Amino acid sequence: MGRESVASVLAAPSLQLMADEIRYLKHLEKNPQETGTFIGELEKWRLAGNRHFNKKDFESAIHIYKRCARLGRGFESITTEEFRGRATPIVIMADSNCAQAYLERRQWESALQSAEGALSLGPQHVKSLFRKGKALQGLQEFKKALAALEAALELRPYDDSTMAAVAEVKSAYHQSVTGEFDLYNYYLENLPPFCSDYVGSVEIKSTATAGRGLFLTESMKLGQLVIVSNAIALGLAARGKFNEHLINLAFACTRLATSSVRYAHQFRYFHSRLKNQNARVPPLELYIPGSDWAPDPHSKVEPPGIEEALEIVRINSFDSSRIGNPEAFLDGLKDALGHTPPAQVNVCALWALPSLLNHSCLPTCAVSLVGKAMFIRATRDLPAGTELTISYVVSDSLDREQLTKAWNFACRCERCLFDEIVKPHISDAVQMFSDIMSDFEARLPRALEPDKLKYEIFSRLIHHVEQRIQNLPCKLDDRQKGWVRFIFQRGYMLRIVFCPQEVSRLEKIEMVAQLLNIYKAVEAGTCGLNLQLAACLLKGVELEYGRSSHEYQSTRKVVAMHFHVALGEMDDDFLDKLLKAKFSSDSLAPFFNEISRSEKGYQQHTFIWQSRSQQSLL
């Protein structure tokens, strides 16, 4: 191979050399005696990249690695036979480390490009094969990821991290295809596992009112898994900094969409008021791991600007109030916050496919999180064709239209229409409740200790509500009664919180069972409180009636239902372990413990409990 001219270097599109770099290379071409110095400089740049990398300044590291790799490649194209190959090992390492820096920033497509750049010069570079595998794993291209990781393992057998990655990718591939996720260890004790995305039997269709939505193509059973979706971006900020977590999320989104064609396309389909709301229907393949989705080569998609990204995250993200414990977002927290305790952190995140779920005040889906993976399950048996919905708002308020303002729609679901009819007949109870609550909230934050007076206030309220339900001009079924009670659910809850010790255990069981039933009527499985109450109820029934009783067996079925909606299928043994591990230390658990059994109370209440448990709970 002879010597190539600088002109031919310039013609190579992959190099994209900067003007000053070209000048330098031209100089070097005329002064080959400076090659040694140049190689030394190249190595210095690579090390400077490493320094930035170690300080977690990935952006600067990427910039330096790229310059190093560009110049190294440029040099290899112009240099003589004598010097050829001297820059190559440096370029391979710069590309490979650059891939790692992109991995740290979750910019999977860029990480893949850099890893492939390194592999084009050194096909057997183990680290680059590993990083290629991790990038493909991030892109949820599990089959290709496995090929890269297995090639790395062949070159360096028994390498711990590669073996771990292979196992993880194999399991993720299985998850993405079958929808089977083994979460037993996670629920009992461990950190969230890596979960792949999974798309069950659904389709995206346009709807008359909400633009587009997700619909079932097959019937689903209660608790069945419909979708698993990982957050595509996180926004974190210390508490007290107004909206900073949203702004951080918006920046993360623009970065993501700039680095990836697939994400750029996904961003087109988020709701945003800045662009047209003509609700284009995205192809489902865009969200399916390993699908053969490919961008239309004729239409170039621009990533959103920061203003649009802010609008997108404001409308589509879930914040701490919806996603609960920020500790679940471990890998985002570690770097973004250093030593700030999770309790002092505002966190919000964006999910792509779930953003297409429309709102209902009686949602067909329950949402639970395993780390960043959002699990969406059916809250009841659903026939094919059912629209999948979640509740966007805390839905015990009668004025829910105020809450849906942000999304610019008025909900006209079954429950909203029902509320309109019932509203005038319960207005005095609503007023009473609002007076009690404002008085109560004015006294916060005081310890929520059992308090006889407060217990009586809430008991009176609930008595009043129950009277109103009895005397409504229209006849309500059990579900509709639950809807009315749900408006006052915090009252039902606080009555339990303030319940004094001398109240009989059976009355307490009644109270908890009633509250659980209220949740079942509206948002079964969507809130952790369901699970705590279910566990608490079972404990109470066990203490009162014993494990072999009919009451215990019926309650267990009810409890299993609530767990099933939230967490999916589980056997009896697991249910026992879960109740013990998760809820034995819960604040509600001692609720039943201290009370001695009252024979009189037992007879009085057994009838009520049995009849209610048969009528409504089961």
Residue 103 binding Zn ion, by CB under 5 A: no
Stretch that binds Zn ion, among 98-106, 119-127, 323-331, 416-424 (CB under 5 A): 416-424
DSSP characters over 209-229: TTEEEEEESS-B-TT-EEEEE
Query: Which residue type sits at 579?
Result: L
Task: Tell me the C-alpha distance between 260 and 255, whole Å.
Answer: 9
Stretch that binds Zn ion, among 175-183, 287-295, 415-423, 500-508 (CB under 5 A): 415-423
Minimum CB distance to Zn ion, residue 395 (Å): 8
Minimum CB distance to Zn ion, residue 400 (Å): 6
End-to-end CA distance of the chain: 82
- Which residues are paired to 236 by β-bridges? 347
Contacting Zn ion within 495-554 (CB under 5 A): none
Stretch 346-385: interaction string toward Zn ion, x if CB under 5 A: ---------------x------------------------
Residue 413 binding Zn ion, by CB under 5 A: yes
Minimum CB distance to Zn ion, residue 413 (Å): 3
Minimum CB distance to Zn ion, residue 426 (Å): 17
Indicate the residue among 209 and 277 with the shorter CB distance to Zn ion. Answer: 209
Minimum CB distance to Zn ion, residue 128 (Å): 53
Stretch that binds Zn ion, among 71-79, 80-88, 404-412, 558-566 (CB under 5 A): 404-412
Of 173, 174, 195, the C-alpha closest to 183 is: 195
DSSP characters over 231-252: -SEEEEEETTSTTHHHHHHHHH
Q: How many CB atoms lie within 10 A of CB 43?
A: 17
| Cα–Cα–Cα angle for 527, 573, 365, rounded to 5 degrees | 25
Of 9, 165, 256, 411, the residue at the interface with Zn ion (CB under 5 A) is 411
Indicate the residue among 358 and 504 with the shorter CB distance to Zn ion. Answer: 358
Indicate the residue among 356 and 411 with the shorter CB distance to Zn ion. Answer: 411
Minimum CB distance to Zn ion, residue 406 (Å): 15
Backbone angles phi, psi at 233, to 5 degrees: -155, 150
Of 57, 75, 82, the C-alpha closest to 1 is: 82
Backbone angles phi, psi at 457, to 5 degrees: -60, -50
SS3 331: helix
SS3 550: helix
Minimum CB distance to Zn ion, residue 415 (Å): 5
Indicate the residue among 141 and 523 with the shorter CB distance to Zn ion. Answer: 523
Cβ-Cβ contacts under 8 Å for 338 (sequence gap 6 or more) = none
Indicate the residue among 349 and 361 with the shorter CB distance to Zn ion. Answer: 361
Residue 99 binding Zn ion, by CB under 5 A: no
Indicate the residue among 261 and 398 with the shorter CB distance to Zn ion. Answer: 398
Distances in Å between the Cα of 547 and the Cα atoms of 87, 261, 505, 563 are 74, 57, 16, 19
Stretch that binds Zn ion, among 129-137, 369-377, 408-416, 563-571 (CB under 5 A): 408-416
Q: How many CA atoms lie within 13 A of 28 on its CB side?
A: 24
Indicate the residue among 331 and 387 with the shorter CB distance to Zn ion. Answer: 387
Cis before 123? omega within 30: no
Of 78, 135, 416, 494, the residue at the interface with Zn ion (CB under 5 A) is 416
Minimum CB distance to Zn ion, residue 492 (Å): 21
Indicate the residue among 402 and 614 with the shorter CB distance to Zn ion. Answer: 402
Minimum CB distance to Zn ion, residue 428 (Å): 23
Indicate the residue among 97 and 489 with the shorter CB distance to Zn ion. Answer: 489
DSSP characters over 518-581: HHHHHHTTTSHHHHHHHHHHHHHHHHHH-TTSHHHHHHHHHHHHHHHHHH----HHHHHHHHHH
Stretch that binds Zn ion, among 94-102, 405-413, 492-500, 553-561 (CB under 5 A): 405-413
CB 556 within 8 A of CB 538: yes
Q: What is the β-pairing status of strands 373-378 and 225-230? A: antiparallel
Minimum CB distance to Zn ion, residue 362 (Å): 7
Backbone angles phi, psi at 271, to 5 degrees: -65, 135
- Binding site residues, Zn ion, CB under 5 A: 361, 411, 413, 416
